[in-house]
Amino acid sequence: MVDLERFRDQIRLLTCHTLIEAKGGHIGGSMSIVEVLAVIYGKHMRFDSSNPKWGNRDWFVLSKGHSGPAYYATLSLVGFFDKSLLSTLNHDDTQLPSHPDSLKTRGVDCTTGSLGQGISQAVGVAIALKQKRKDNVVYCIIGDGESNEGQVWEAVQFAVGHKLDNFILFIDDNKNQLDGPTKEVNIELNFSKIMDSFGFYTQVVKGDDLSAIDQAIVNARNNRGSPSAIVLETIKGQGIGFVEKMANNHHIAIEGLVKENLLRELQILEDRV
């Protein structure tokens, strides 16, 4: 049995140290999905790290591909590749590019990064699995800012229309995106009402509550006849106090005082782990 609290802390620590070594990166959106990654990979995902293409595995699609650093940290911790590779993030000829690439990184099921395309791939996988009468589950994470893409809603309609109850969508509702607060860029969406009206089995949970996320996934996996959506109420930079308070923490340079502050907060996590 995986200790989810310890696993969460390990993912957060490893992600931050990866970004420190890279001298910056997408820290805000990476931090806000740490808890859900911990629960998915620590308790619910069916996978074999020694055989990434195992036919009976569950699938995971990080549609908000800029949060790749947290995804890579998770994959290394569960054994898909050695942690030493994390130091090569974004380097020339790296196996760990800025956004996930299924042709380069062991454990990555779908190449993502251009927002909206990941969820489309995920529902395509889900219907293919249905047609093959397989019971694999497809997990997908999108961002609230990503929902500005019309392609997201085409995928949502498709999932409902084909009753893809093997598809679980997580919406990282951290209220911020590249250009600032989501409500100022477009409009602030009530994802719970929207997904429910489309026909998804919809739940809303605190995005830092491991137990609530766990129970929501159990409920979703037991749901039949419709796809599921779990809206995660998160904070951009979640779990790192001074990053949470930064006005623009989508992508930051980690040098000087920022690096000092980050290392100071990480020491608390390291002492706990």
* Distance in angstroms (rounded) separating the CA atoms of residues 26 and 145: 14
* Distance in angstroms (rounded) separating the CA atoms of residues 264 and 209: 24
Identify the DSSP state of 116: T
Q: What percent of the chain has pLDDT over 70?
A: 100
Using pLDDT thresholds of 50, 70 and 90, give the confidence band for residue 34: very high
Q: What is the pTM of this model?
A: 0.96
Please determine, for residue 19, whether its predicted confidence score (pLDDT) is greater than 90. yes
**How does the average pLDDT of the chain come out, rounded?**
95
pLDDT at 271: 84
Residue 86: domain span? 4-272
Listed as own residue / partner, the contacts of 188-191 with beta carbons closer than 8 Å and 24 or more positions apart are 189/144, 189/147, 191/144, 191/147, 191/229, 191/231
Write out the E strands in the chain: 24-25, 59-62, 138-143, 167-173, 176-177, 180-181, 201-206, 228-233, 252-253
Minimal CA–CA distance to 15: which of 215, 266, 217, 223?
Answer: 266
pLDDT in tens, 35-45: 999 999 999 99
Mean pLDDT, range 152-177, rounded to an integer = 96
* Distance in angstroms (rounded) separating the CA atoms of residues 174 and 28: 9
Please determine, for residue 153, whether its predicted confidence score (pLDDT) is greater than 90. yes
pLDDT in tens, 81-126: 999 999 999 998 999 998 999 999 999 999 998 899 999 999 999 9
* Distance in angstroms (rounded) separating the CA atoms of residues 256 and 252: 12
Q: How many domains does the chain have?
A: 1
Please determine, for residue 272, whether its predicted confidence score (pLDDT) is greater than 90. no
Q: What percent of the chain has pLDDT over 90?
A: 86
Tokens 């790296």 locate to 94
Listed as own residue / partner, the contacts of 69-72 with beta carbons closer than 8 Å and 24 or more positions apart are 69/15, 69/18, 69/19, 69/25, 69/26, 69/27, 69/30, 70/11, 70/15, 70/30, 70/31, 70/33, 70/34, 70/37, 71/37, 71/100, 71/108, 72/15, 72/18, 72/96, 72/100, 72/105
pLDDT in tens, 217-264: 999 999 999 999 999 999 999 999 999 998 889 999 999 999 999 999
Look up the CATH number of the domain holding residue 135: 3.40.50.970
Q: What are phi and psi of 230, to 5 degrees?
A: -120, 110
State both tokens at 36.
């859900």
